[in-house]
Amino acid sequence: MKFQWKPPQAEQLWKLLDKYKYVLLVIVAGVVLLLWPAGEGERREESASGSTLEDFDLAALEEKLSQTLSQVEGAGKVTVALTVRSGMEQVPLTDRSTSVSERGNSVEEKTVVINTGSGQEAVVRMQRGPVFQGAVVVAQGADRAEVRLLLTQAVAALTGLGSDRITVCKGTD
């Protein structure tokens, strides 16, 4: 006995398509997304993990902070100097496994890596910003207490430093 396959009639085919139209729509959308080309137009500097890494420029930050604080009423010309405890830091993703043996428990921790065309790269779990240690603000209008307070509060808000680590001094005219 031979099995012969009969093609479904157009009416049966439309019933099947109508019944599974949402499933087919999801499958087609998935295939389109898989085939969608990666953005070649936007080139970014990439870190070892493949994610974009913003360079931390202390001098540029000090200059921008100086310009911003110069806009405070009564501050006059402002210069800012910052000290940094640690710069940008990348924390790798790790895989932790625990094994139980006769000698006790042992924990093994491995950094997760991905294979790229040019080798292996660590996967970055998080990226920490710089940690500031202190700030000195020199302003022409720092002889007034309200100006010193405003400058201290502004630097604290932008750097995360406490007011005990920010010094505001009067500058020369």
The whole-model pTM stands at 0.51
Tell me what pLDDT residue 52 has.
Answer: 40
Cβ atoms of 106 and 98 within 8 Å: the answer is yes
SS (HEC) of 81-96: EEEEEECCEEEECEEE
Selection from 160, 93, 164, 90 nearest residue 132 by Cα: 160
Q: CA 130, 133, 137, 143 torsion: positive or negative?
A: positive
Cβ atoms of 121 and 101 within 8 Å: the answer is no
Q: Which amino acid does the sequence have at 15? A: K
Residue 8: both structure tokens together: 């479904």
How much of the chain, in percent, has pLDDT values that exceed 70? 84
Element housing 17 (H / E): helix 10-19
**Section 71-90 average pLDDT:** 84
pLDDT digits (tens, 9 = 90+) for 12-56: 777 878 888 888 888 888 888 888 776 544 444 444 434 344 567
Q: Which residues pair with 117 in a beta bridge?
A: none
